[in-house]
Amino acid sequence: MITFKAIVIPNHKRDDGTYPVKIRVTYKRVSRRLKTTLVCSSTDLTRSLKIKNADIISKADELILKMRNVVKDISPFDLEDKDVDWVVRKIKESLSGDNFKLDFFEWGQKYIKQTKSLSTQKAYERALNALERFLKKRELDINDITKMMLLDFMEFIDKEPKMHYDRKLKKSVETEKDKVAKASSSLHLMKLQHIFKAAKERYNDEDSGVIHIPKSPFDSIKKVFPSGDYGQDALDKSIMQKIILAKTDDPSVRTALDAFIVSFGLMGANLADLYLASPFQGDKWVYNRKKITSRKAEMRVVIQPQILPYLERLQNSDDNEWWLSELHRLGAKKHTCNEKLNDYLRRWQKSEGLESEDFTFYAARHSWGQYARDLGNDLASVNECLCHKDSLEMGRIYASLSWEQKNDINKAVLESFVWE
């Protein structure tokens, strides 16, 4: 049952001593307040701040009657799975003449087209396709998205059998349970949230008071994102082997391939850390991860002999500012360099007939993690090698791996490939 009541809020007293009148809408024991143009002075209220002015009560009753008529036209079946926010939105639409509609899937497709990275576009597509499987239809008004719907969606995805493409069988097969990527529902939810927020930025105008999309159903849902779940973005070992032995006359492609292998060979180093690294002496790269400010994020990676040829091609002995000066030749800023690297990696993929792989520079890090797992290392150890945030927290409780042990894992990963 939906109830309405005209009220004033004690702590909403204005500077001139008046109180704005609001209509409280209650449904399923949850209340929301709707603004009105009505105002009460202290003489219009009882000591307990109940409205006693007959004229104001009459005008408030007129508003409440209009609201009741709106609700009366809604089918009980439509109301059954809705919340009070949905009811309030319907009332506002009816009374203000705002019939704003936006199909979430159509908007999602427009948003995806603005995304430059093909791999990111595919991630958004996977999220929308998952939502379609859950709804059993490809249409959804953006204002019909609720917290309960999203929670049901996450449960659906977590229970749904996971499929992957088997290159040997040349068909999609169900993934074994112990190899299923964890928290895929949270990853989908993150992409859907990006699409939702972009719509709010596009269609809401707070300065003028035009709020077509009032809710933020994603904000209150706890998301658990995977750390150490590398299988989805890791390259097949045959592809990595092909990159290691690749020959090319294109200098830009050569730089991209070298940078990819250096990232892989330095224990899955991030581009930000490679890009900002200063020259140093010795066979050990000691640095603090840019993404993590903790002192425990210090990395001490031994430079294995296999990657030296790739490393040397990225260096310029005359450059005293940057360790890998060729990366700065590609882009004056890190994000520009990243875009260039991905463009040149795709150019190489196309030349080798590997467009379907569509991997980016970050695949080097994920691949290292997966290959380390394939060698029998437990997830916690691999996370620690890659310096994930959760591994830093666990290190406060359990004994950490020594850097000698971590570098031994890296050495074993590199020795599982054939090098020049």
Q: Structure pTM?
A: 0.49
Enumerate the H helices of 145-265 as residue ranges.
Answer: 147-159, 184-203, 237-244, 251-265
User: What is the Cα–Cα distance from 363 to 385, expressed in whole angstroms?
Assistant: 16
Half-sphere exposure of 123 (CA within 13 A, CB side): 23
Size of the chain in residues: 420
Other C-beta atoms closer than 10 Å to the C-beta of 415 total: 12
In the chain, domain spans = 3-96, 104-208, 237-415
Q: Which of 148, 134, 156, 14 is nearest to 81 (CA)?
A: 148
pLDDT digits (tens, 9 = 90+) for 210-239: 678 888 888 877 654 444 455 556 888 899
Res. 46 pLDDT band, cuts 50 70 90: very high
CATH of domain 237-415: 1.10.443
Where is average pLDDT lowest: 13-22, 35-44, 87-96, 252-261? 87-96
pLDDT at position 332 is 83
User: What is the Cα–Cα distance from 145 to 86, expressed in whole angstroms?
Assistant: 9
Structure tokens at 72: 């009366």
User: What is the Cα–Cα distance from 68 to 215, expressed in whole angstroms?
Assistant: 22
Other C-beta atoms closer than 10 Å to the C-beta of 298 total: 13
pLDDT at position 188 is 86
Enumerate the H helices of 245-324 as residue ranges.
Answer: 251-265, 271-275, 308-313
pLDDT digits (tens, 9 = 90+) for 80-124: 888 888 888 888 777 765 567 899 999 999 999 887 667 678 888
